[in-house]
Structure 1
Amino acid sequence: MIREEELTAGPQVAPRLDVAAVGSASQLSGMRAEWNALLDASTAGPFNAWEWLYPWCRRISPDVRPLVLTARDRLGTLVGLLPLGLEHRWVNGVRVRRLGFLGETHVGSDYLDVVARKGREAEVARAFFQVLQGLRDEWDVLDLTDLREGSLTLDVAREVFGDANVRKTDRYVCPYETLVPGEPFDAFLKRTGRRDNYLRRRKWLEKQDGYHIERTEAPGNLAGPMTDFFRLHALRWSSDGGSQGIKGAGVEAFHRDATQLLAERGRLRMYTMKVGGQAVASVYGILHGQSFIYFQSGYDPAWRNRSVGLVLVGETFKDAIDLGLTEYDFLRGTESYKADWVTKQRQTVSLRVHGAGIGGAWFTQSEALGRKARNAVKSVLSDELVEKVRRLRRRKAAVH
């Protein structure tokens, strides 16, 4: 078992940094202010926030033991974090000790990474990886998933562990757009090619009784908008066997916690479109630095032909421009509606390193055999039938 005292790095690792570990959720709970100060001084992405990862530990994976590496300078100031969790998996009778990011599953956390003060990313990552390198007999697999492409973390991992020992895998495509400060919203609309349809649909909706859009950001006002969001999100995916993005009571509880905490930091935007007193569309957005993060959405399929989703997304772009933000990020997924609004894409990647024993190699080999079996089944099924099988599995899972 990895012990916290083993993770204290001496001068041989990084003379200017002291590396230690936080090994319990109770310790993690007291780090909010210090964590936030570091995140605000970094270039790390939105899902590295304490407000996201702490409720993930409580609601999503309580069996994963937090193992958050911290790096402090000579004055004791926190200059880096590596938010890891340790779990044990049994693969064909073999126990595998796996280190991975907190927040990596169930909630769609893109751009996970080392959190470091701006300009010290490589130094901090190097200190963390040198400690983990010295403890390779204490873990079998190090999985760092959904790093943003171009992250220095990948280069430093190759430097410390050896290029041949680091496996890189492409993960998700994330569409986004750069916003021009001060640009009129109509000029932005012309660049998207959605101007006429958006304006026509909005004009029709504005004539309907009780049409309005509510923007909720105060932590004390979230109960109603979150209830509307969960209902509309479930309706949106009901014909496809249920949502894979927000699935189960535990995930809903996580989002109620996370949105409350994000709102306390002024980082949340919930948008609800109402017509005649009834919520018909919803967008769950996050503010991070100069970026608007489109996290999830939902709408009533009965209003699909009125393009309520299109209009509400357009209003979030307008709001982002009015706020002076410089980027709008749709996160993972290349759904066609995203291409209507944005022109750029970035990739997320994952890295894997095996520990000193055989467990890591065994784990990777078992995964590869599982993928090979699944791909063999897919190869004899039509794409349409594969999708029907997926939907059937989702419906069965929803029932149980």
Structure 2
Amino acid sequence: MAPGLQWHSGAGAVLRERHQGDAVIREDELTSGPRLTPRLDVAAVGSASQLAGMRAEWNSLLDASTAGPFNAWEWLYPWCRRIAPDVRPLVLTARDRLGTLVGLLPLGLEHRWVNGMPVRRLGFLGETHVGSDYLDVVARKGREAEVSRAFFNVLQGLRDEWDVLDLTDLREGSTTLGVAREVFGDVRVTERYVCPYETLVPGEPFDAFLKRTGRRDNYLRRRKWLEKQDGYRIERTDAPGQLAGPMTDFFRLHALRWSSDGGSQGIKGAGVEAFHRDATQWLAERGRLRMYTMKVGGQAVASVYGILHGQTFVYFQSGYDPAWRNRSVGLVLVGETFKDAIEMGLTEYDFLRGTETYKADWVTKQRQTVSLRAHGAGFAGTWFTRSEEWARQTRNAVKGVLSDELVEKVRRFRRRKAAVN
């Protein structure tokens, strides 16, 4: 897939324009029969500089869609800058006859070498390093199938120019899954993560909500003790100009929380921290960020990094000082985020991926994320999948002869090594 590729998809034509150096090669592939006016015009944004200029239009579309929080420009643009500068953005756009943006498919193109074979892989922007659940096609509400079909028809028509299409961490039940099966035929769908969540009742007293959880008595007892301590307070920060301190506290507390386990897998490395400083700044500018910091005696002891998306509070990450573990500072701060969400009139609280025990004490529902893979026209995509399967079988075989304790020690060693590097 060449750097300047642009696609325009109509009912009767696929126009491909490929830039090679200074030359432009244009190929019109027309079906027989009369030309029809296209319902949607599909094109591609192929550079970070173009992506930078899409914020306002992207936000307008996201607000008119049912797509998840991590499909936001404020999340995906800093991912391109800080996490994957070598991945070329290839964002498909769909516009109606008036030129209005009605759909986005935020992809990136990367080239890999797999056992001596080059592989051209298309995947979601935001798919690695930063825990992006519910990635998907972004389409105006009610037009999800139409927009997805337009995108996939174009990709199907250009199947000889890519080898693997990986769409990871889709929400199960997404319209995208059914349309991909319809267009590509043979696709692989595998389970990814379980995401616990809870439906909130607007106007419900917080104590009534607490009675439905497994944490009411412990939460109230621990909060009462903390409230008696000098300098106890919970700070909520949502202003873009006031994030430096809360983010520094968050990174410190998150690292402390995971230090005994060999380091965090969720926030690891200077590049990821730089990403989150960018993303939180831009999310705050949109009124989408909530940083919670618990302080006792002037010292930050617990932190929660939350995102507002529509009527949902998204619990993204947290941290706390292990020296305060026995005082349940993490429990109390999570409870305060539930209280805040209910008072804001939100209708859902989402813990995202992971089935940690503490989540089950607060919520009762779960949803699943899945990944979808389609292969291009050549053999490279199939080779890529087979190589992954062989590697997975080898890892499982090794694990099978190691004790659980030794496997965990190896994991911790690798985390510490990665943190140092």
Query: Taking structure 2 as the reference length, what is the TM-score of the superposition?
Result: 0.92
1:393 CA drift (Å): 1.1
Q: 1:76 to 1:321 in 2, by over 3 A?
A: same
CA distance in 2, matches of 1:25, 1:385: 44
CA distance in 1, matches of 2:31, 2:101: 14
Q: 1:76 to 1:7 in 2, by over 3 A?
A: farther
CA distance in 2, matches of 1:53, 1:319: 27
CA distance in 1, matches of 2:409, 2:30: 48
1:217 CA drift (Å): 0.1
Aligned length: 398
CA distance in 2, matches of 1:364, 1:126: 25
Q: 1:230 to 1:130 in 2, by over 3 A?
A: same
Indicate the structure (1 or 2) with the bigger Cα radius of gyration: 2
CA distance in 2, matches of 1:24, 1:8: 30
1:238-282 Cα distance to aligned partner (Å, 9 max, x none): 001100000000000000000000000000000000000000000
1:114-159 Cα distance to aligned partner (Å, 9 max, x none): 0000000000000000000000000000000000010010000000
Q: Which residue of 47, 50, 54 corresponds with 1:31? A: 54
1:12 CA drift (Å): 7.8
207-216 or 12-21, larger mean C-alpha shift: 12-21
CA distance in 2, matches of 1:9, 1:246: 53
Which 4+ stretches in 1 moved above 6 angstroms?
1-14
Contact 1:282-1:298 within 8 A present in 2 as well: yes
Q: 1:342 to 1:372 in 2, by over 3 A?
A: same
CA distance in 2, matches of 1:2, 1:367: 36
1:327 CA drift (Å): 0.2
Contact 1:171-1:348 within 8 A present in 2 as well: yes
Q: Cα RMSD over matched residues?
A: 2.2
CA distance in 2, matches of 1:33, 1:295: 24
1:3 CA drift (Å): 9.9
Q: 1:55 to 1:113 in 2, by over 3 A?
A: same
> Any gaps of 5 or more consecutive residues in structure 2?
1-23
Contact 1:181-1:325 within 8 A present in 2 as well: yes
CA distance in 2, matches of 1:175, 1:55: 27
1:164-183 Cα distance to aligned partner (Å, 9 max, x none): xx000000000000001111
Contact 1:48-1:115 within 8 A present in 2 as well: yes
Contact 1:139-1:355 within 8 A present in 2 as well: yes
Q: 1:87 to 1:211 in 2, by over 3 A?
A: same
1:9 CA drift (Å): 16
1:355 CA drift (Å): 0.2
1:35-88 Cα distance to aligned partner (Å, 9 max, x none): 000000000000000000000000000000000000000000000000000000
Which SS does the other structure have where 1:242 is aligned?
Answer: coil
1:289-335 Cα distance to aligned partner (Å, 9 max, x none): 00000000000000000000000000000000000000000000000
Q: Does 1:75 align with 2:108?
A: no
Which SS does the other structure have where 1:6 is aligned?
Answer: strand
Which SS does the other structure have where 2:25 is aligned?
Answer: coil
Equivalent position of 1:323 in the other structure: 344
Equivalent position of 2:122 in the other structure: 99
1:391 CA drift (Å): 0.5
Q: 1:81 to 1:9 in 2, by over 3 A?
A: farther
CA distance in 1, matches of 2:93, 2:191: 27
CA distance in 2, matches of 1:13, 1:88: 36
Q: 1:107 to 1:87 in 2, by over 3 A?
A: same
1:15 CA drift (Å): 2.8
1:2 CA drift (Å): 12
Equivalent position of 2:265 in the other structure: 244
Which SS does the other structure have where 1:10 is aligned?
Answer: coil
* Identity within the alignment, %: 90
Q: 1:269 to 1:362 in 2, by over 3 A?
A: same
CA distance in 1, matches of 2:379, 2:306: 43
Q: 1:250 to 1:15 in 2, by over 3 A?
A: same
1:344 CA drift (Å): 0.4
Q: 1:11 to 1:397 in 2, by over 3 A?
A: farther
1:11 CA drift (Å): 9.9
Q: 1:389 to 1:8 in 2, by over 3 A?
A: farther
1:388 CA drift (Å): 1.3
Q: 1:87 to 1:12 in 2, by over 3 A?
A: farther
Q: 1:4 to 1:307 in 2, by over 3 A?
A: farther
Contact 1:4-1:21 within 8 A present in 2 as well: no
CA distance in 1, matches of 2:54, 2:146: 22
1:93 CA drift (Å): 1.0
1:380 CA drift (Å): 1.0
Contact 1:5-1:20 within 8 A present in 2 as well: no
1:13 CA drift (Å): 9.9
Equivalent position of 1:207 in the other structure: 228
Which SS does the other structure have where 2:405 is aligned?
Answer: helix
1:5 CA drift (Å): 10
Q: 1:202 to 1:362 in 2, by over 3 A?
A: same
Q: 1:12 to 1:186 in 2, by over 3 A?
A: farther
Which SS does the other structure have where 1:302 is aligned?
Answer: helix
Contact 1:53-1:103 within 8 A present in 2 as well: yes
CA distance in 1, matches of 2:191, 2:35: 34
Contact 1:176-1:329 within 8 A present in 2 as well: yes
CA distance in 2, matches of 1:231, 1:170: 33
CA distance in 2, matches of 1:187, 1:277: 32
Q: 1:99 to 1:29 in 2, by over 3 A?
A: same
Query: Taking structure 1 as the reference length, what is the TM-score of the superposition?
Result: 0.97
Q: 1:290 to 1:37 in 2, by over 3 A?
A: same
Q: 1:218 to 1:392 in 2, by over 3 A?
A: same
Q: 1:305 to 1:18 in 2, by over 3 A?
A: same
CA distance in 1, matches of 2:233, 2:420: 35
Contact 1:9-1:131 within 8 A present in 2 as well: no
